[in-house]
Amino acid sequence: MTPDQAISMLDRQLAQHGQTVKLRKGNTAAGEAVVKAFVRGIAADEIAGTITQSDKKVTVSPTGLATFGMPAAGGSVVVDGTPRAIVGSPEILKMDDIIVRINMVVKG
């Protein structure tokens, strides 16, 4: 599988089954990006440190983030109208040094 194929597969799944979220660099709506994401709960075995079952895992594609840039610690994701702070640094998954998926844990 190539990076382009991996991104295309993720984009198709997000288009069909994802939900709309907003990525923000801080706590302001200026410059936010509206994207599709998978939003899931935290499993019991993923609870550690400050992560609780009320937090969420958010997965987005790098597609459409050229202007916004990569989500980062200190940013937020608006899920169902509620801003949720990104916990730590997002997990950036790469294939052949090309970003194919961004996973984040959000709190709030």
pTM of the model: 0.90
d(CA 65, CA 92): 13
CATH number of the domain enclosing 80: 2.40.10
Q: What sign has the CA pseudo-torsion 21, 24, 27, 30?
A: negative
pLDDT score recorded for residue 61: 97
pLDDT score recorded for residue 80: 94
Q: Which of 61, 58, 59 is nearest to 3 (CA)?
A: 61
Instruction: State the residue range of the domain holding 39.
Output: 3-107
**How many domains is the chain built from?**
1
pLDDT (tens place) for every residue of the chain, 108 residues total: 999 999 999 999 999 999 999 999 987 778 899 999 999 988 877 777 777 778 899 999 999 898 999 999 989 999 999 999 999 899 999 999 999 999 999 997
